[in-house]
Amino acid sequence: MVRRTDLEAGHYLSTYFSGYATVRKYYDLRDSERMTSKDTSPQEKVAAKKEAASALIAIINSAGDSIKGGLLDPQVETVIPLDTLLALLGEALAFLNCEQLHLLTYTLLNFLTPNIQ
């Protein structure tokens, strides 16, 4: 219906609804009973974690499509806005082990501290 009256609005709605559905799938996987239940076997938890991580990687790849090569290309349309990339990378921290997490956190803080005014 919207697409008939306003083609551009219909395009944006379909694009961002697709992105929302992708992000929603990740959060559903992350918060599923398979990940949090005490009755779930370790193998099943690992499989659920891999599935959630794969969904998150797909989201991060989509959000980063407009900055391939390090330069922003505003002509590239993505289903996930680039503004959410930092939050998505923060979500990825949960999939690292503690030693990697400490090193990554230290590196990120050293990188961001001079830029925060």
pTM score of the predicted model:
0.69
Which amino acid, residue 38? K
Q: Over the stretch 65-77, which tens digit does the pLDDT of each residue have?
A: 778 777 777 788 7
**Residues of the chain falling short of pLDDT 70:** 1-4, 97-117
How far is the C-alpha of 77 from the C-alpha of 20, rounded, in Å? 15
Task: Count each helix (H run) and each strand (E run) in the chain, helices first.
Answer: 6, 0
How far is the C-alpha of 4 from the C-alpha of 49, rounded, in Å? 41
